[in-house]
Chain A
Amino acid sequence: MNTLSLELRLFLAERATWIVLVLFASTLAYGIANGARMGKAAHESAQLVEQDRQQWTKQVRDALERQAIDPRQVAARPTVALLPPAPLPALAIGQSDLLPAHESISLWRLEKPSEGSAGLENPARLLAGRFDLAFVLVWLLPLFLLAAAYDLCAGDREAGTLRMVLAQGVAPWRWLARRALARAAPMLLLAAAGTIVAGMLTEERAVGARVVLALGVVLAYGLFWVAVCALVNGFARSAASAATGVGAVWVGFVLVLPTLLNVIVESLHPSPPRAELVAESRAAAVEAEQRGNELLSTFYRDHPELAPASMQADITSRMLAQQDEVGRAMDPVRQRFTEAVLSQQRVVDRWRFASPAIAAHEALADLAGTGYWRHRAFQEQVAAFKDELHGYYSPKIHKQQPLTKADGPSFPRFEFVEEEPGRWMSRVATSLLGILALAALAAVAAGTRLSARKLAA
């Protein structure tokens, strides 16, 4: 331990070290602030939506006190499905700048594919990405670590002093590990502190498990890069060589592999054809409309329980029936579409271990609650809610049954059901283990290279 603290002191004695540490701390702070700000804005807008909804519900209930209401009046106003604000927004902005956090659902437009964007965001901004904590941890932390630790013994090798050190009888592996850890420790401590601060900047209460897992991911990821430094130093014959080597590894894992994977995945599992979905659904609508009245009487023949007392064809009833027909016709197209999306994500899930950067990024977004899976769950629940809405109002409209006070409590309301902790925990834990495995691999490879004989050669 003595030599470890010596290494640490030597490292901290350099002015350059402090510049690097201060720079890193600033980027951490900036990233956290950005995420926290997005989180606050999300909270505010969620509150507005919730207030709005409660107001409307109250209005309806009050109205029902006085008289029965035509269900079409209530159904005319779109219901808002709200995705509650993310539990740890300061950790990662994830997909929350791109995907909408609430959706307006109208009974008359159930078959229209949801098209809402998250806002009027500048597409170039979406392209550039956000400077959040996840960006600092996944892209910048390795750069700072590499800046601190790229020259573990390569410079000594170049200067010839490595042989002198080895001649003292020190075990190279232990010596280098101490040096690497001493140089990495301040950076990793800052990163950990940043993660904890991000964990505190939330309105959510029960985030302990998330923060602990995030710490695990950050430390595992940091260890991976330390191992890479050690491995490169086993080969590099000069400081400049070492710098080039670690730089190349960073570029490979953080820049090239994820972006390359994206184009390959796009090629093998192409994006779902949105245009096709849109055009097909309109074709189905045209057909349904043309069959018009005939459709309605067929519908009532098939669903006698829904036939209204007076048997008078009503515009709204006809619309609903047409919508049903469109829905039926669109089922196979929608299936294809959903399958394409799911297959893309399955590929990502499998390939995220190709690069620790991908695994770490996915894990952090997952923990923050702004990742792909949570939004996916939201979309699925919205689809289910549409069915629920339809199942509630449609029969009443067909049968021309008014809403009464007794119906009050049973109005369909969208309540988002969060994923079971077990599921996201196991996803993140798998990513974490994957990163640790890669780190272990690099460390073992480094160990085989860092023998006195090989280093002195």
Chain B
Amino acid sequence: MLQAKKLTKRFQDRAVVDNLDLSVEPGEIFALLGPNGAGKTTTISLFLGFLAPDSGDALVGGTSVASDPVAARRQLAYIPEMVSLYPRFSGVENLDYFSRLGGRPHTRAELLALLERAGLARDAAERRVGTYSKGMRQKVGIALALATEAKGLLLDEPTSGLDPAASHEFSRMLRRLAKDGVAILMATHDLFRAREDASRIGILLNGRLATQLTRDEIKNKDLEKLYLERLRA
């Protein structure tokens, strides 16, 4: 569903993403690990078409992002580190607006149901977003992924700043989405969560995938030791 083929992006002579080959199939949760500056956020921006690659290609559902970014985005949902919403509108109103823009209008009842599925209670959903915590904003993001029936989901540091309970809830939602066949690419520092939820892990170093592990391999390795080892190398 999500494919990067020799994807390269340079900023001032430095290759932030260097010949990256990556693929995420429907139902897979791919955790992209790496230190700051490794290129995780850049990779996500490349998939969203917010940056144009210098060479190589990013594909979403077979569509080249570079040639038709709007069509590519239509198939994606995006939850950044801080989900930005319109403070003077309520959760439901925000969801309504974004889902319409995504081409999938819903009735108010449907929207409330979606928010509930994402874990946001009705009374919270009708409050103005200006008062929301990070976890609540994320739930709106997830509801949006559900509302637009996105085939691919891009996440950037989803669990940073969440307390353990919210983090746990988030994992649950993620696994449900994967079960529904969504291809999920998650850029994160959270080794614990990556180990819990990912079906595959990739360690991104200097724009390249230094290591790729499958679920079974993850279970057998001490992820932290491996990660730090790779960094030192």
Judge A-B direct contact (beta carbons within 8 Å).
no
Residues of chain A touching chain B, judged by Cβ–Cβ distance below 8 Å, are: none
